[in-house]
Structure 1
């Protein structure tokens, strides 16, 4: 499969190709945003839908394919994704007709799409969500530069970062998306991805030397509730 670069500047292109040309991307964007009350995929950042912004961010890693899993029966999201797929030939859209069953099914659909490409040159898969509004290219580059079987993001919860939180209260760090994972291992795990049961429990079963972590508390700020959305807009992370 030919490689396409969507960033400007020769120096950056050379760096991206050196580290990232052997991976695929899955963007999990089929959530129904029930707590938020509106599709988070269509929140606006820098004048365009958040799902578009995240897709453009994914293209900076120069993947062989970007698989975007979206919910069924949502015309505006589908229209936005069709436009992106026409613009970027590496983008493939997958519709999840069972979006209410949980993230695991979306991930399984994404894996199936990559497997169907029948390419032998993909070593890793970068898995992203759609609502970590402060996610940036350097973090994705750091994930892909890791050598462990799984290289995951590490950050605190919203509650830990709120000023009124008791500093003595113990709140576990989050080890999660985005993450880069060995493609063969991901395929082995696919049959166990059912409903809300993702692969966090599978990652915990790996030995310590198989797991890398990249710290980034900016990733704590995802958008799940109206209060979090208002906070993000107040700070200018999302357009009003």
Structure 2
């Protein structure tokens, strides 16, 4: 099974007022952490999707070693960034499945990414999604049978739409720390106070 992985890092962090991709957590930028965990995982290929100020964001990780692609239409919303990443990986190789992750969920790690791959294999379901805050979301793994549906999303629609539409084919992995993402300075302060 060939597994691709897309790290979404295209947003401008408008609510935060500074690029969250470059926020430091445990001594590394969020984008660097995301890339390092992804590289160590059992995935076969990965791509970082950039959008807003790509050169600046590339300074936050080793972009000579990690493929990245720029979504010129990043302002249209998450759907277009995911699609740019998915097309990039599909052109490179015959993918069986793809994991979608964001760079601003600081507690996503290699163990969780590998857990998604294993859960899909064991459950036989087409989608494995993380469960937190009474919802299902990313990081999530999608079988190739959902690629068309993912490529048909519009604007701010994200992978969650595909997950919720196909609930019967979803296996969920509990990931309570998935609710922590960084949209405001208060979120970042809270993160510093967390003893994990």
TM-score by length of 2: 0.89
* Aligned equivalent of 1:136: 109
Do the aligned partners of 2:21 and 2:60 also contact (CA within 8 Å) in 1?
A: no
Q: 1:153 aligns with which of 130, 138, 163?
A: 130
Deviation of 1:113 after TM superposition, in Å, equals 0.1
Greater radius of gyration (CA):
1
CA distance in structure 1 between the aligned counterparts of 2:195 and 2:50, rounded to whole angstroms: 26
Q: Given the superposition, is the C-alpha separation of residues 110 and 190 from structure 1 closer, same or farther in structure 2, using an over 3 Å criterion?
A: same
Instruction: State the Cα deviation string for residues 106-164 of structure 1 (Å, max 9, x = none).
Output: 001001101211x23x21101100111122222212111123100000001xxxxxxxx
Structure 1 unmatched runs, 5+: 1-20, 157-172
Partner-residue secondary structure (3-state), 1:55: helix
CA distance in structure 1 between the aligned counterparts of 2:151 and 2:36, rounded to whole angstroms: 30
Q: Given the superposition, is the C-alpha separation of residues 29 and 100 from structure 1 closer, same or farther in structure 2, using an over 3 Å criterion?
A: same
Q: 1:183 aligns with which of 139, 144, 147?
A: 144
- After TM superposition, the structure 1 stretch with the greater mean CA deviation from structure 2, 65-74 or 46-55, is 65-74
CA distance in structure 2 between the aligned counterparts of 1:72 and 1:34, rounded to whole angstroms: 10
Do the aligned partners of 2:6 and 2:46 also contact (CA within 8 Å) in 1?
A: yes
CA distance in structure 2 between the aligned counterparts of 1:96 and 1:236, rounded to whole angstroms: 36
Alignment of 1:8-87 (within 5 A): 22-81=2-61, 84-86=62-64
CA distance in structure 1 between the aligned counterparts of 2:87 and 2:194, rounded to whole angstroms: 38
Moved over 6 A (4+): none
Deviation of 1:24 after TM superposition, in Å, equals 0.7
Aligned: 1:203 with 2:181: no
Q: Given the superposition, is the C-alpha separation of residues 217 and 22 from structure 1 closer, same or farther in structure 2, using an over 3 Å criterion?
A: same
Partner-residue secondary structure (3-state), 2:63: helix
CA distance in structure 2 between the aligned counterparts of 1:71 and 1:207, rounded to whole angstroms: 31
Structure 2 unmatched runs, 5+: none
Q: 2:96 aligns with which of 103, 113, 123?
A: 123
Q: Aligned Cα RMSD in Å?
A: 1.8
Partner-residue secondary structure (3-state), 2:14: coil
Alignment of 1:218-233 (within 5 A): 218-233=177-192
CA distance in structure 2 between the aligned counterparts of 1:106 and 1:123, rounded to whole angstroms: 20
Partner-residue secondary structure (3-state), 1:115: helix
Deviation of 1:100 after TM superposition, in Å, equals 1.7
